[in-house]
Amino acid sequence: MEYKDKIYLDYAASTPVDQRVLGAMLPYFTDIYGNPSSIHYYGQQAENALENARDIVAKLVHANPGEIIFTSCGTESDNLALRGTAFAQRKKRNANHILISPVEHHAVLHTAHQLAEQNGFEVEYLPVDKYGMIDPSDVEAYLRSETAVVSIIYANNEIGTINPIAEIGGICQKHGVPFHTDAVQAAAHLSMDVQRDGLDLMALGAHKFYGPKGVGALFVRNGLAISPVQTGGKQESGLRGGTQNVPFIIGMSEALKITNQECEKRANTLIPMRDKIVGTILEEIPHTLLTGHPNKRLPNHASFVFEGVDGNALLMMLDMAGFACSSGSACKVGIPKPSEVLTAIGLSSNWALGSLRITLGKETTTDNVEAFLEVLPKIVEKTRSSK
């Protein structure tokens, strides 16, 4: 099958760089190439562009420019938020308790695990319902005076559920506890407002909203104590040493600006296609469950589990048929293992190992969706019969 005949349905994993974004980036590779820390003309050009990009990102998320820290990706932003805040809060007020959900991205989960195992922090996990959603009242019940940071994913990358972030933010503000959210998936489809949501820290990654890979941002509220994780120079308010990647930062700001302008229009196109996928799969494929919240989910996101199906085999067969999708199960040393997210929402291995995530993008068409729905039931049946 030719590349042009393949259909990409994995936009939650990554997106193509928008041509407008690429156009905005190109001059900063060859014409405006100075180091923004240099004091000469070339450096001043680069610094002006860098700070203009910071202003754009700040305005779009309702922050101050000095509260935006540019990083290499969403994962680095999550690491800086969790690790930097935990260390600073322990030093400042002897806070040693970290509160997260069990359905976080690995950038948060694995960072929390390391902080517990190597640095002596106590990590506690909030309960989630069958949709993977956090109840704000549970956050209030689990908070302690020694809680260093709370981290709750804004919209789940695997099952699409959107959490009640503003309510949780209000509770954390009331108790004076720093609140971080991984908004890497959410920012591609929802308006971000750190004031509305009561956030102290928020992670973004450009390649989820048609920007380049290799650049992200972290909002850090003014006055919040946070320790640098990457030391070196004094770049990024002293929190992230290293020469800034100016072309990619320009790309990120342009991509976020375009996303902010077009997200409502995109959602109006994506939601009917998403709902068509959900309705058809649940109706036509037996022993199937929708994962994530039926309504409070990302507009481009449909995810399922199929009883008695090998998710990896399903993905390979779909790929051979020309469809790129994703699964929540991971194969480690040949041993199938269900994802933490699917286990946390109560699914048994027989269900959780047969997961499928379909995520749509601005290039997806109704013809793409129809073609996918034509082949999926047959492939699921074939996968089941081969077990």
Catalytic residue numbers read 331
CB 23 within 8 A of CB 211: no
Whole-number Å distance between alpha carbons of 144 and 150:
11
Give the whole-angstrom CA distance, residue 341 versus residue 249: 31
The structure tokens 């922050």 sit at 63
Q: Give the torsion sign (CA, 198, 242, 74, 116).
A: negative
Secondary structure, 3-state, 311-353: HHHHHHHHHHCCEECECCCEEECCEEECCHHHHHCCCCHHHHC
> Using DSSP, how many helices (H) and how many strands (E) does the chain show?
12, 14
The CB density around residue 12, as the number of other CB atoms within 10 Å, is: 25
Is residue 359 within 8 A of residue 12, CB to CB? The reply is yes
Quote the radius of gyration of the chain (alpha carbons, Å).
21
Composition of the chain by helix, strand, coil, percent to 5 = 45, 15, 40
Q: In what order do the strands lie in the sheet with 201-205?
A: 68-71, 216-220, 201-205, 179-182, 147-151, 97-100, 122-125
Looking at residue 380, its amino acid is V
**Contacts from 19-28 at CB under 8 Å and sequence distance 24+?**
20/254, 20/258, 21/210, 21/211, 21/212, 21/251, 21/254, 21/255, 21/258, 22/251, 24/250, 24/251, 24/254, 25/212, 25/247, 25/248, 25/250, 25/251, 25/254, 26/247, 28/246, 28/247, 28/250
Residue 289 tokens, joined: 């469950």
Contact 166, 196 (CB under 8 A): yes
Cα gap 45→78, rounded to integer Å: 30
